[in-house]
Amino acid sequence: MFRFLFDRDTWQEVFDSLSKNKLRSILTMVGVWWGILLLIGLLGSARGLENSFNRLFGSFATNSVFVWGQSTSRPFKGFQEGREVKLSLSDAKNIEKNVEGIEFVLPRSQTRVTATRNFLSGGFQMAGDYPLLDQLQKKKLIHGRFINQNDIDDNKKVVAISEDAYKQLFEKDEEAIGKYIEINGINFTVIGLFEVGNVNMGPSTDMHIPFTTFQQIYNRGDRIGWMMITGKPEYDIKQIEEDSKLILKNLNNIHPKDTQAFGSFNLGKEFAKLTGFLIGMQFLTWFVGIATLIAGVFAIGNILLITVKERTKEIGVRRALGATPFEIKRQIVVEAVFLTLVAGVLGIITGGWILILLDHFFGQGADAAIVNASVSIAVVFIALLILVALGTLIGLIPAFKATSIKPIEALREE
Amino acid sequence: MLKINQLHKSYPIGDSSLHVLKGIDLSVEEGEMVAIMGSSGSGKSTLLNIIGMLDEADSGEYILDGLPIKNLTEKKAAVYRNKFLGFIFQSFNLINYKNALENVALPLYYQGMKRKERQEKAMFHLEKVGLADWAKHLPKELSGGQNQRVAIARALAANPKLLLADEPTGALDTTTSYEIMAFIQQLNDEGKTILMVTHEEDIANMCKRIVRLRDGVIMEDKKVEQVRAEQYV
């Protein structure tokens, strides 16, 4: 059998009979070609979309939950209901120490401020932050730097401002780094200018100053606005949220079943939904692609069936000359597999071109909708393997049809 | 060489069946040249097809070269056809997208012969029918007579024991028919056993023996004085 595959005569026969009717062969191939082109195009774009999501969210620590204090809804340990809950730095430290699977706990404070510079002013959201924020929620800095540990240690009056804030407070093309702006009557040095991303987690912030500076200026002492709890990737963020809330309730004398005391936003849960959507899309892509492929392979089977009918007489002659039914079947199956394989390879190549085009038109720049649209080699090989298997199966139908007719009847056919 | 005893064959037609061969007894010795004659519907083609293992008899005995031909699988029939029989058809039945040389080489391909050897052998047979210069031509580029000569070369290629011809001159004009007959006679002179179906008296008279069929039985079986075809060419 293997010798047969490497025999020049085999391929001469296949090539002869396929090139005899070029139109027929080409039409046959279009079906499979189109199927694999769609499969690769769709899979590639799905991957590209996934990549672009990953790029959008890649700068966030997605396994995170935000927690803030609200007010209690149940009386507990002598406290009345409706008591305002305030989180503190020690709460954050406690969680970091006691909850299993914690990566970081990042306390933040936030307030609304009015900033002025010369005759320009505006209202902004300002947050007091640790340098760690830059790791959890990557800031795209255009100029300068983000807050560092020195700023925290020395309670420095420095600020990183957003592009929007820059536009409101500075003239066009004016250098901002090193300049002073006045925030609620206190002068701050601008150290960084950052771009606001497309996706924002939590309240959007126009200005970041060192956490310690914030606490000092607003006399917050130990109290913090909210905290961002990030779990290690292998831990379930929902469990971490529950554990953390339980500890917080314990520390703050809140009824364990009080659901109103703390507000939270579970980024990990939301992100999981998005990932689920992407998985669904990939499944759909595979489904559509494979269905199209199967349709294409059936088209090949169909045309081969017609071909066999057309070639009944030729097959009769070959059998009169001593071709065994096996040899006839083998030839038809090889023709089918050859057609599917060539069409498949062409489909893979043109599918690659489509992905290149997609990348060229939609994949450029930072905000591209499709990032690095691609299909893994393994997928390509699996698709080819499926093609060959289906090609063989579908080739068997006309092959059996061809040899089911008696040679004498085949010869009588005109 | 060939022995047939009480051969019967019928074809179903709707509810009834048509009894085509009603007990044929025939024996052919090596080196004979037999014409099977009869009007259409007499069963002559059916007989040839059964002898050619393209069709199977309902009952009766058929022995080819000492080998009983009975209940053959398709595969075995194909091997026997390839080894023992050469076919010449009325409509040549060449494969239209293969050139003369490839057509002649086709039975050798199914014998599993190597390409080079095959081509040499095919070329030898093409030379024998005088078409060496036309080896690379497709059937549609050749005349009817030339096509039939290619078909004869193909039938000879596998060196068969028995040559079966179904109206070999049926599609040819008289002059070309005699040319082809001259070839076939020459092959017979060299010792090939030949069985041919024809309904033309002059062609039949160029054989050495005529078997006449009517309504599925042999009416007459006689040796004749062979008319040489060369004299008309």
Token pair in block for residue A306: 């017609």
Residue B10, C-beta contacts closer than 8 angstroms, at least 6 positions apart: B17, B18, B19, B20, B21, B58
Residues of B in Cβ contact (< 8 Å) with A407: 54
Q: Do B111 and A411 touch (CB under 8 A)?
A: no
Mutate which of B50, B56, B82 to test chain A, going by most A C-beta atoms within 10 A? B82
Contact between A322 and B82 using a beta-carbon 8 Å cutoff: yes
Contact A326 B107 (CB under 8 A): no
CA distance A372 to A352: 12
Q: Which of A80-94, A367-381, B11-25 has the lowest mean pLDDT?
A: A367-381
Nearest to B54 among A326, A327, A407 (CB): A407
Contact of A8 with A291, CB cutoff 8 Å: no
Residue A366 has pLDDT above 70, yes or no: no
Q: Using the beta-carbon criterion (under 8 Å), do B87 and A323 form an inter-chain contact?
A: no
Residues of B in contact with A318 (CB under 8 A): 95, 106, 110
Count of pairs with CB atoms under 8 A, one residue in A, one in B? 64
Does residue B145 contact residue B178 with C-beta atoms inside 8 Å?
no
Q: Name, of A210-224, A324-338, A391-405, B19-33, the range with top average pLDDT.
A: B19-33
* Amino acid A89: pLDDT: 86
pLDDT, mean of residues A105-134: 86
A413: amino acid identity, one letter: E
Percent of chain A with pLDDT over 90: 2
The answer, for B232 touching chain A at a CB cutoff of 8 Å, is: no
In order of A138, A185, A360, B195, the CA distances from A364 in angstroms are 21, 44, 6, 79
Nearest CA to CA, how far is B230 from chain A (Å)? Answer: 29
Q: Tell me what pLDDT residue A197 has.
A: 65
Please give the mean pLDDT across all residues of chain B.
90
Residues 67-126 of B with CB under 8 A from A: 74-75, 78-79, 81-83, 87, 89, 93-95, 97-98, 106-107, 109-111, 115
For residue A201, the model assigns a pLDDT of 58
Partner-chain contact A406 B95, CB within 8 Å: no
Q: What residues of A are in contact with residue B83 (Cβ under 8 Å)?
A: 322
What's the CA gap between A279 and A125, in Å, rounded? 36
Q: Which residues of B are less than 8 Å from A320 in CB distance?
A: 52, 54, 81, 87, 93
Q: Kindly report, residue by residue over A222-273, the tens digit of the pLDDT.
A: 888 888 888 888 888 888 888 888 888 888 888 888 888 888 888 888 878 8
- Please tell me which residue of chain B has the smallest CA distance to A19: B97
d(CA B135, CA B103): 10
* pLDDT score recorded for residue A230: 86
Neighbours of A96 (CB within 10 A): 17
- Closest by Cβ to A408, choosing from B55, B94, B111: B55
Q: Is-contact B82 B111, C-beta < 8 A?
A: yes
| pLDDT per position as a tens digit, A68-98 | 888 888 888 888 888 888 888 888 888 888 8
Label residue B6 by pLDDT band (50, 70, 90): very high
Confidence check: pLDDT of A367 > 70: no
Q: Mark yes or no for CB contact A320/B106 under 8 Å.
A: no
Q: What is the rounded CA–CA span in Å between residue B73 and residue A324?
A: 10
Judge whether A325 and A64 are in contact, CB under 8 Å.
no
- B94 to chain A: which residues are within 8 Å by CB? 317
Closest CA of chain B from A342, distance in Å: 22
**B8: three-class secondary structure by DSSP:** strand
**pLDDT tens digit sequence for B151-207:** 999 999 988 989 999 989 988 899 999 989 998 999 999 999 999 999 889 999 999
Instruction: Using an 8 Å CB-CB cutoff, list chain B residues near A313.
Output: 93
Rounded to whole angstroms, how far apart are CA atoms A316 and A362?
Answer: 56
Bridge-based pairing state of the strands A226-231 and B16-28:
unpaired
A314 CB within 8 Å of a chain B CB: yes
Tell whether A403 is within 8 A of chain B (Cβ): yes
Phi and psi, residue B77, nearest 5°: -60, -40
Structural domain spans, chain B:
30-57+66-232
Choice between A161 and A303, residue whose per-residue pLDDT is larger: A161
Under the banding of pLDDT at 50, 70 and 90, the label for residue B62 is very high
Instruction: ipTM value, please give it.
Output: 0.89
Residues from chain B contacting residue A8 (CB–CB below 8 Å): 115
What distance in Å separates the CA atoms of residue B101 and residue B151, rounded to the nearest whole number? Answer: 11
Residues of A in contact with B54 (CB under 8 A): 320, 406-408, 411
Q: The CATH number of B30-57+66-232 is which of 3.40.50.300, 3.40.50.720, 3.90.1520.10, 3.40.50.1820? A: 3.40.50.300
What pLDDT is stored for residue B45 in this prediction?
86
Cβ atoms B166, B89 nearer than 8 A: yes
List pLDDT tens digits, range A43-63.
888 888 888 777 776 656 678
Choose among A34, A15, A35: nearest CA to A25. A15
Closest residue by Cα to residue B160 from B123, B191, B127, B132: B191
Tokens 């008899």 belong to residue: B57
Q: Å from B50 to nearest chain A CA?
A: 10
Q: What is the pLDDT of residue A198?
A: 57
- Nearest Cα to A326, choosing from B108, B123, B110? B110
* pLDDT exceeds cutoff 60 at A199: no
Q: How far is A19 from chain B (nearest CA, A)?
A: 9
Helices A377-404 & A267-310 angle (0-180, nearest 10): 30
Query: Is the Cβ–Cβ distance between A64 and A268 less than 8 Å?
Result: yes
Using a CB-CB cut-off of 8 Å, the residues of chain A touching B75 are 324-326
A157 DSSP assignment: -
Task: Indicate the pLDDT class of residue B133, thresholds 50, 70 and 90.
Answer: very high
pLDDT mean across residues, chain A: 83
Q: Would the pLDDT of A295 be above 90?
A: no
If pLDDT is split at 50, 70 and 90, which confidence band does B28 have?
A: very high
Q: How far is A316 from chain B (nearest CA, A)?
A: 9
Q: Which pLDDT score is estimated for A2? A: 63
pLDDT of residue B150: 94
Q: Cβ of B78 and A411 within 8 Å?
A: no
Interface membership of B216 toward A (CB under 8 Å)? no
More confident residue, A197 or B232: B232
Determine whether the interchain pair B87/A321 forms a contact, defined as Cβ–Cβ distance below 8 Å: yes
Q: Are A320 and B93 inside 8 Å of each other by CB?
A: yes
What does the pLDDT read at residue B103?
92
Residue of A20, A320, A326 lying closest to B97 (CB–CB): A20
Shortest Cα–Cα distance, B227 to chain A (Å):
30
Q: Contact A411/B89, CB-based, under 8 Å?
A: yes
CA separation for the pair A31, B6 (Å, rounded): 55
| Contact criterion met (CB < 8 Å) for A326 and B82 | no
pLDDT at A84: 85
pLDDT level of residue A1 (50, 70, 90 thresholds): low
